[in-house]
Amino acid sequence: MSRIGKKPVPVPSNVTATLTGQQVKVKGPKGELAFTVPDILKVVRNGDGIEVSLTEDSRPARAMWGMSRTMITNMIKGVTDGYSKTLEIHGVGFRAAMQGKDKVQMQVGYSHDVIHPIPQGVEVKVGGAKQDQISITGIDKQLVGQLAAELRAYRKPEPYQGKGVRYQGEFIFRKEGKKK
């Protein structure tokens, strides 16, 4: 039994949640999101909030139960507070810049600049003293995390000198170099 799935999702007063069959739509001060719950689960709106329950006791249903409840919780948090991730760029000559409003241009040690498109629904700002911080904000947790992971993947931090793109506050285990 899923301990997470059993709990009802509380809906704050400034958020409106509507159920249309298996689709849950959440509208709040920052925007609107929707999620379709799998058919093997049942979604009900009651006094406590939104409740997700099993229609059949099978392994796939139990696997989707907690995940569906968490998706609804993340949507409610997204439309009220929003999500943000900050990336730091470390390395000599490594920097980032905005190219219009829909592309990020990064110089991370390649012979060419890396240009990455920004998906709709996500806002990106480049700042810092040497253009070495990228701030990603949005209401969809999955989109914000996916964009941060894609930008980090262009040059992951390496363990010897610590160069690369890392999440803010991420610890990089440093290795000692070769000895004679």
- If phi > 0 it is left, if psi is from -120 to 50 it is alpha, else beta; for residue 112 that is beta
The 10s digit of each residue's pLDDT in 32-91 is 999 999 999 999 998 889 999 999 989 999 889 999 999 999 999 999 999 999 999 999
Q: What is the pTM of this model?
A: 0.90
Task: Please state the rounded mean pLDDT for residues 140-156.
Answer: 96
Same fold: 3-80 with 83-167: yes
Angle between helix axes 59-80 and 141-153 (nearest 10 degrees) is: 90
CA dist 11 and 72 (Å) reads 10
∠ Cα 176 159 126 (to 5°): 140
- Looking at CATH, the fold of the domain delimited by 3-80 is given as Outer Surface Protein A; domain 3 (3.90.930)
CA dist 60 and 74 (Å) reads 21
Domain 83-167, CATH among 1.10.3210.10, 3.40.449.10, 3.30.200.20, 3.90.930.12: 3.90.930.12
Neighbours of 45 (CB within 10 A): 15
Q: Where are the domains of the chain?
A: 3-80, 83-167
Q: Hey, which residues does 136 pair with through a beta bridge?
A: 85, 124
